[in-house]
Amino acid sequence: MDGPGLAATLPDDQRRRRPARLPSVSEPELARHFGRLARRTHNLQQGIYPLGSCTMKYNPAVNEEMAQLEGFAGCHPYQPEATIQGALELMWTLERWLGTITGMDAFSLQPAAGAHGEWTGLRMIQAWHAASGDLTRTEVVIPDSAHGTNPASAAQCGLAVVTVRSGADGTVDLEDLVRRLSPRTAAVMLTNPNTLGIFEREIATVARLAHAAGALLYYDGANLNALVGMARPGDMGFDIVHLNLHKTFSTPHGGGGPGAGPVGVRARLEPFLPTPRIEREGGGYRLDEDRPRSIGKVRSFYGNFGMLVRAYCYIRAYGDGIAQVAQDAVLTSRYLRHRLAPALGTALASDSFHEFVATTTRSTAPRLRALDLAKRMIDFGIYPPTVYFPTTVPEALMFEPTETESRAALDDLAEVVTAILDEAAADPERLHMAPEQAPVGRVDEVSAARHPEVRWWPADR
Amino acid sequence: MAYLPNTDADRAAMLAAVGAAAVDDLFRDVPSEWLHPALDLPPPLSEPELVAELRALARRNRPLADWDCFLGAGITHRFIPQVVHATIRRPEFATSYTPYQAEASQGYLQAIFEFQTMVAELYGLAVANASMYDGATATAEGALMAVAHTGRSRLLVSATCHPETLRVLDTYAAGRGVQVTRIPRAGAITDLGAARELLAGGESAVVVVAQPSFLGALEPVRELVQAAHATGAMALVAADPVAASVLEPPGALGADIASGEGQPLGIPPQLGGPTVGLLACSEALLRRIPGRLVGRTTDARGETAYCLTLQTREQHIRRERATSNICTNHALMALAATAYVGRLGARGLEQVAEISSRRAHHLATAAGRRPGYALAFPDAPFLWEFVLRCPAPAAAVAARMAEQGILAGLPLGRVDPELEDCLLVCTTELTTPPMIERFLAALPAAASEARAVATVEAVR
């Protein structure tokens, strides 16, 4: 049943001359190798992972099992539509659930990640303005506290970034916003609550100002865990949102992905969504490529379907009770802030939601660097919070515990941080040496960047 | 509630500690008219109910294991050793975050370093990043890297690249004001003469070509690279990673950038995602490559250690001046590819290629001899994917074959109207001899039934 081999069928000048230098490892050795690497990797099942803006919540076991079902994992994107009706129905339903949660009229599940969703959303905003004959809108107004992906996504679209200042309370400075808006403004891009964990109380005014200037209002859904089920960006005046399913909707982060970054829009932007769209017709579902005003394709096939299965499971398990997620996420964060307050001051007095930003400059050891505190936390089995972000706060430590941390785990974290601050006051030098208990000591990141070595080479290169 | 550890007593204690009377007090900054919106969501499900619902949905899909599968076209049905699944399902890998804190993430960092080495070796290039979303976005971002490096704003891309890649590239380029020009197809490969003409003006940043072409044929990559370099353009090869184990790799042919869809390396089809995008480049492009990079260095004690490096290229440091906006990548899928390649080694990949190719050549020869059928491009060397010309519209032939439980391949009319009677057929190491027998046996009836359907439709 075999035809001729490669020796006969490959032209000589196409044949690989030197094989790739790759190890070939027996299964027992391979399992042990990755077992060793696994033990050297902090993870959610080992301990609290309070990385601000990352929403490191528990990843339900059943979701993993469901995503592995052969009927989901084993299908080809080009097989006949009649033979993937369950998958199409799952995606169609998930689009509608995300729509009701955010107050948006239509969703595309295609973007692969949050930043990919931002870029997709901004491309749609460009297309919308262009379709209105307005080709002069080349700027995006973004707060100084925004995630770095916001300005980077704008630049990927060829849009210029205009930075709007945060006021003393950590929210957008409205007077500065008025100065930044112009006939060149394509969009105002906000996270709400913002990266300081503070709700933009004047969001209705922001929306009015943006719309009066002819711009659209973009919602970066990175912090939706604070509001899921409790309040909706659509009600606040946002025109377009992206969500990070790997944050709010618990699909595992996988050490940096894969995630999923669906984009939702108000009805007037629906024609610009990426293709294909999933349509329900009669009793069935089909993929619609015929969308003349669409921005086109943003990735191959239909999105990170495996992650969509997990997010579907997550929303289905909470159903119409999903507001409890936001309530507990905000409560655990506020409680942790309260527990840390005697030792570690927060950057701002405003109410915080699912995350808060502390700073070592307001701590019982004010000369302590955030980095040193972070590295010492590793010795106590706690993954450090996000450090040096947002950049508007010196020596920032951004904590986001999530709703899946127990009160006991939060108490432990507070006690560890308090102990480290005591230690810093008594023996300031010791923290420079941290971590002491990790698989390696403090990693020399400066020489890594100065002399980049990004792969193995054979000795005789 | 399923995944919430705190009891009502815990909640009450925490509320009291923060001085709130009720949970809504925590949300006092949100205007009250927005709080507690009515949501059109169903009631919660218990775990057994959830499992039942998902199993019912899954049963309404027919996975490749239940077909005789000859469908490839960018997602390849390959065998995955169980140890690959076991590796990526470990919670240490599945539930961790991007390894910002190196000391707590040494294991994953080393795994990504191994991935980068593996991709760079397969493609014969100096540098590879820690992964992209998929083959299409890797190719698009790779091409834009060449735009940034050359300062030229036109891309030349072969019409024989994967159609999804072509369309994604259009979307990426349009946002940046970059002009995309297609190099026409000549048979199953790029029209080399047309490529030389398009390059002649010296305005193009890069030539993008797939190896093999979307139609399965081997491209004249060496000649395209030379033509590009002669006019100051760069060359990007979107290379199948298993094919790269037996073909002269992009780097050895002088390409500056290589990209690829990593799905064939141990990743299930999953309706097309998540997979992993591979992206490699020459040393000269090290500081322009998008995405994460892991570097090897030392710790305070002088021991080998790993960390994310050259982060000044990245969005969280450089913001609007970053080389890309990519933040979350596809690390866990990169880990799957690393485990798959680690298990097989170069020799194992070559064997996968060899078996797949032998099956394809047997099938191509036999199918091409069936009455009315022929190879569309009989002179084009190929590996495991080829174009079969049918005596009726290929979509109709494929539909008849599907009734027999055979996924016969991709009808190409949806890609190129000139190829309406053509099927793109793929074999792999999972295509068994009985499957091939059934495929061949089904061809005659599929043709006559398809012709009958076509006649009826024509009469109507």
Task: State the CB neighbour count (10 A cutoff) for residue B445.
Answer: 13
Residues of chain A with Cβ-Cβ distance to B271 below 8 Å are 72, 75-77, 84, 87, 301-302, 305-306
- The alpha-carbon gap from A213 to the nearest alpha carbon of chain B, in Å, equals 23
pLDDT in tens, B169-223: 999 999 888 999 999 999 999 999 999 999 998 999 999 999 999 999 999 999 9
Mean pLDDT, chain B, as a whole number? 96
In terms of domains, do A307 and A195 share one? yes
3-state SS assignment for residue A18? coil
* Residue A19, min C-alpha distance to chain B (Å): 7
A450–B contact, CB cutoff 8 A = no
Say whether both B300 and B352 belong to one domain: no
Residues of A whose CB is below 8 A from B162: 300
Q: Are residues B128 and B270 in the same domain?
A: yes
Q: Does B102 touch chain A (CB under 8 A)?
A: yes
- The structure tokens 């941080």 sit at A417
Taking only the tens place, the pLDDT of each residue in A192-211 is 999 999 999 999 999 999 99
Alpha helices in B124-255 (DSSP H): 135-150, 163-175, 192-199, 221-230
Q: How many domains does chain A have?
A: 2
Residues of A in contact with B121 (CB under 8 A): 20-22
Q: Percentage of chain B surpassing pLDDT 70?
A: 100
Partners of B171 on chain A (C-beta within 8 Å) are: 123, 274, 295-298
For residue A438, is pLDDT > 80?
Answer: yes
- Are B149 and B276 in a shared domain? yes
What residue numbers bound the domain in which B253 lies? 82-339
| B122: in domain | yes
Whether residues A115 and A152 share a domain: the answer is yes
Whether residue A432 sits in one domain with residue A299? no
Residue A72 contacts B, CB cutoff 8 Å: yes
What's residue B111's pLDDT? 98
- Cβ–Cβ contact A232 with B under 8 A: yes
A102 and A114 together in one domain: yes
pLDDT exceeds 70 at position A327: yes
Cross-chain Cβ contact B295/A257 below 8 Å? no
Q: Among residues of chain A, what percentage have pLDDT more than 70?
A: 100
Of the residues B305, B339, B373, the one at which a domain ends? B339
Q: Any chain A CB within 8 A of the CB of B232?
A: no
B373 and B256 assigned to the same domain = no
Residue for token pair 């950049």: A391
Contact B325 A155 (CB under 8 A): yes
Average pLDDT over residues B142-156: 97
Confidence of residue A392 (pLDDT cuts 50, 70, 90): confident
Do A398 and A296 belong to one domain?
no
User: What is the pLDDT at residue A2?
Assistant: 85
CA A171 from chain centre, in angstroms, equals: 21
Is residue B399 located within the same domain as residue B312?
no
How close is the nearest chain A Cα to the Cα of B280, in Å?
11
What DSSP character marks residue B230?
A: H
Give the tokens for residue B256: 């500056």
Question: For residue B366, what are its two tokens?
Answer: 């036999």
Q: Do A256 and B322 touch (CB under 8 A)?
A: no
Q: Given an 8 Å threshold on Cβ–Cβ distance, is A201 in contact with B29? A: yes
Q: Does residue A277 belong to the interface with chain B, where contact is any CB pair within 8 Å?
A: no
Cis peptide, bond prior to residue A28, ω within 30 of zero: no
pLDDT, residue A365, reads 86
Check which CATH number belongs to the domain holding A236 and give it. Answer: 3.40.640.10
**Distance (Å) from the C-alpha of residue B200 to the closest C-alpha of chain A?**
26
Same domain for A215 and A287? yes
Q: Is residue A100 assigned to a domain?
A: yes
Is residue A302 in some structural domain? yes
Contact A256 B90 (CB under 8 A): no
Q: Please enumerate in sequence order all residues whose Cβ is within 8 A of that of A368, keeping only pairs 6 or more positions apart, or say none.
A: A360, A395, A421, A424, A428, A431
Q: How many CA atoms lie within 13 A of B237 on its CB side?
A: 33
pLDDT of residue B177: 85
**A21 contact partners, CB below 8 Å, separation of at least 6:** A458, B121, B346
Verify whether the Cβ–Cβ distance B30 to A199 is below 8 Å.
yes
Helices assigned H by DSSP within A14-53:
27-39
Residues B351 and B333 reside in one and the same domain: no
Q: In what order do the strands lie in the sheet with A106-108?
A: A106-108, A263-265, A240-243, A216-221, A185-191, A139-143, A160-164
Q: Does B314 touch chain A (CB under 8 A)?
A: yes
Contacts B294 to A, Cβ<8 Å: 454
Q: Chain A within 8 Å of B268 (Cβ-Cβ)? A: yes
On chain B, the residues whose CB falls within 8 A of the CB of A198 are 29
Distance from the Cα of A90 to chain B's closest Cα (Å) equals 7
Query: Is residue A307 domain-shared with residue A333, that is, in the same domain?
Result: no
Residue A37 inside a domain? The answer is no
Residue A1 has pLDDT above 90, yes or no: no
| Same domain membership, residue A300 and residue A259 | yes
Token readout for A425 is: 């006051």
Contact status of B18 with chain A (Cβ, < 8 Å): yes
Q: Answer yes or no: do A233 and A373 share one domain.
A: no
Q: What is the CATH number of the domain that holds A351?
A: 3.90.1150.10
Same domain (yes/no): B382, B299 = no
Q: Look over chain A and give the mean of its residue pLDDT values, rounded to a whole number.
A: 96
* Predicted confidence band of residue B446 (pLDDT cuts 50, 70, 90): very high
- Of residues B1 and B376, more confidently modeled: B376
Q: What is the CATH number of the domain that holds B202?
A: 3.40.640.10
Residue A353 is assigned to a structural domain of this protein: yes
- Same structural domain for residues B107 and B177? yes
Contact present, B271 and B249 (Cβ < 8 Å): no
CB-nearest to B36 from A101, A304, A323 is A323
Work out how many domains chain B is built from and give that number.
2
| Confidence band, pLDDT 50/70/90 cuts, at residue B281 | very high
Q: How many CB pairs under 8 A join A and B?
A: 658
User: Buried b vs exposed e over A38-55: b needs ≥16 C-beta within 10 Å?
Assistant: bebbbbbebbbbbbbbbb
What pLDDT was estimated at residue B1?
61
* Whether residue A244 sits in one domain with residue A137: yes
Q: Which residues of A touch B116 (CB under 8 A)?
A: 454-455
- Final residue of a structural domain among A321, A355, A378: A321
Q: Distance (Å) from the C-alpha of residue B176 to the closest C-alpha of chain A?
A: 5
Secondary structure (DSSP) of B282-304? -GGGTTT--S--EEEEEBTTS-E
C-alpha B127/C-alpha B121 separation (Å) is 9
Measured at the alpha carbon of residue B118, what is the angle toward residues A261 and B273, in degrees to the nearest 5?
25
In a domain, A248, yes or no: yes
Structural domain for A188, as ranges: 75-321
Determine the distance in angstroms separating the CA of B274 from the nearest CA of chain A, rounded to an integer.
Answer: 4
A253 touches chain B (CB under 8 A): yes
> Does residue A360 surpass a pLDDT of 80?
yes
Cβ-based contacts of B333 with chain A (< 8 Å): 254, 257-258
Within this chain, do residues B263 and B383 fall inside the same structural domain, yes or no? no
CA dist A220 → A224, A245, A263, B28, B196 (Å): 8, 12, 10, 22, 45
Tell me: do B403 and B285 sit in the same domain: no
Which residues of chain B have a CB within 8 Å of the CB of A9?
Answer: 357, 361, 381-382
What confidence score (pLDDT) does residue B19 get? 97
B60 in a domain, yes or no? no
Could you give the CA distance from residue B278 to residue B265 in angstroms, rounded to a whole number?
11
Element (H, E) at A185: strand A185-191
Mean per-residue pLDDT for B411-424?
A: 96
Boundary residue ending a domain (A321, A352, A373): A321
B230 inside domain? yes
Last residue of a domain, one of A302, A321, A340: A321
* Domain assignment of residue B22, yes or no: no
For residues A249 and A109, is the Cβ–Cβ distance under 8 A? no
Write down which residue in B290, B322, B339 finishes a domain.
B339
Tokens of A456: 């193995």
- Does residue A378 share a domain with residue A314? no
State residue A347's pLDDT score: 86
* A287 at interface of B, judged by CB pairs closer than 8 A: no
Contacts of B384 in chain A (CB under 8 A): none
A183 burial type by CB count under 10 A (0-12 exposed, 13-18 middle, 19+ buried): exposed
- Closest in A31, A299, A443 to B297, CB measured: A443
Query: Within this chain, do residues B289 and B395 fall inside the same structural domain, yes or no?
Result: no
Q: Alpha helices of B156-295 — where are they, by DSSP H?
A: 163-175, 192-199, 221-230
Distances (CA, A) of B55 to A64, A86, B86: 13, 10, 22
B272 within domain boundaries: yes
Reading the block at residue A403, the tokens are: 């709703």
What is d(CA A439, CA A374) in angstroms, rounded to the nearest whole number?
16
Question: Is A172 a member of any domain?
Answer: yes
- pLDDT per residue over A16-60, tens digit each? 999 999 999 999 999 999 999 999 999 999 999 999 999 999 999
Domain membership of residue B35 (yes or no) is: no
Of the ranges A165-169, A362-366, A449-453, B62-66, which one carries the lowest mean pLDDT score? A362-366
A332 vs B: CB within 8 A: yes
Residue B321 banded pLDDT, cuts 50, 70, 90: confident
Query: Closest-CA residue in chain B for A140?
Result: B320
My answer on whether A90 and A170 are in the same domain is yes
- Residue A8 is predicted with a pLDDT of 96
Contact B103 A435 (CB under 8 A): yes
Separation CA A450–CA B282 (nearest Å) = 18
Contact B208, B239 (CB under 8 A): no
What was the pLDDT predicted at B255? 98
Verify whether the Cβ–Cβ distance A86 to B60 is below 8 Å.
Answer: yes
Residues of B whose CB is below 8 A from A31: 83, 86-87
Give Cα A301 distance to the centre of its chain. 22
Is the residue at B160 inside a domain?
yes
What is the edge-to-edge ordering of all strands in the sheet holding B374-375? B374-375, B385-389, B422-426, B410-411
Task: Single out the residue in B288, B312, B339 at which a domain terminates.
Answer: B339
Same domain for B357 and B307: no
